[in-house]
Amino acid sequence: MEKEFLWGAASSANQMEGAYNVDGKGLSIADLALFYEYKDRLKLKKELSLDDIEKLKDTDGNFPKRRGNDFYHRWEEDLELLHQLGIKAYRFSIAWSRIFPNGDDVNANEAGLSFYENIINRCIEYKIEPIITLSHFETPLVISEKYGGWNNRSVIKLFLRYACVVFQRFKGKVKYWIAFNEINAALEIPYKGSAIPFANNAHYAQAVHDGLHNQVLASALVAKKLHEIDSNAKIGCMIASFLTYPLTCAPPDVWKALNENRSYYLYADMLVKGFLPAWYRMDLARQGIEITLSEQDLTIIKNNTVDYISFSYYMSLTASSSQNQNKGNGNLKGGVINPFLEKTDWGWSIDPTGLRIALNDMYDRYNLPIMISENGFGSIDVLEHDGTVIDNDRIKYLKEHVKALKAAVEEDGVNCFCYLVWSPIDMVSSGTSEMRKRYGFIYVDADDYGNGTYDRFKKKSFYWYRKVIDSNGEDLS
Ligand code: BG6
With left for phi above 0 and alpha for psi between -120 and 50, is residue 413 left, alpha or beta? left
Q: Is residue 240 in contact with ligand 1, taking CB distance under 6 Å?
A: yes
Ligand 1: residue whose CA is nearest its atom 11: 430
- List the Cα angle 252/258/260 in 5-degree steps: 105
Residue 133 CA to residue 178 CA, distance in Å, equals: 5
Catalytic residue among 17, 138, 145, 182: 182
Each residue's pLDDT tens digit, 422-465: 999 999 999 989 999 999 999 999 999 999 999 999 999 999 99
Please tell me if the CB atom of residue 331 comes closer than 6 angstroms to any atom of ligand 1.
yes
pLDDT higher than 90, residue 325 = no
> DSSP secondary-structure letter at 418?
E
Tens digits of residue pLDDT in 21-30:
999 999 999 9
pLDDT class of 46 with cuts at 50, 70, 90: confident
Asked if pLDDT for residue 472 goes beyond 90, the answer is yes
Task: Give the pLDDT mean for 14-35.
Answer: 96
pLDDT tops 70 at residue 49: yes
- 47 confidence band (pLDDT: 50, 70, 90): confident
334-340-345-347 Cα dihedral, nearest 10 degrees: 10
CA–CA separation, 363 and 260 (whole Å) = 18
pLDDT tens string 129-139: 999 999 999 99
DSSP 31: G
Confidence band, pLDDT 50/70/90 cuts, at residue 38: confident
Among the listed residues 220, 225, 262, the one whose alpha carbon sits nearest the alpha carbon of residue 237: 220
Q: Considering the entire predicted model, what is its pTM?
A: 0.96
pLDDT of 421 reads 98
Q: Is 374 a catalytic residue?
A: yes
Report pLDDT for 41.
65
Q: How confident is the model at residue 42 (pLDDT cuts 50, 70, 90)?
A: low
CA–CA gap between residue 4 and residue 249 (Å, rounded): 41
* pLDDT tier at 477, thresholds 50, 70, 90: very high
Average pLDDT over residues 5-34: 97
CB 90 within 8 A of CB 123: yes
Catalytic site includes residue 182:
yes
Say whether pLDDT at 334 is over 90.
Answer: no
From 17, 350, 374, 434, the mutation candidate for ligand 1 (largest count of ligand atoms within 8 A of CB) is 374
> 154-189: buried (b, 16+ CB within 10 Å) or exposed (e) per residue?
ebbebbebbbbbbbebbeeebebbbbbbbbbbbbbb
Ligand 1 and 431: CB distance under 6 A:
yes
User: Which of 129, 138, 374, 434 is flagged as catalytic?
Assistant: 374
pLDDT for res 43: 67
Residue 360 confidence (pLDDT) above 90: yes
Cβ–ligand 1 distance for 312 under 6 Å, the answer yes
Task: For residue 148, name the pLDDT band (cuts at 50, 70, 90).
Answer: very high
Mean of per-residue pLDDT scores for the chain: 95
- 68 — phi, psi (to 5°)? 55, -145
**pLDDT, tens digit, for every residue of 161-197?**
999 999 999 999 999 999 999 999 888 899 999 999 9
How far does residue 429's CA lie from ligand 1's centre (Å)? 6
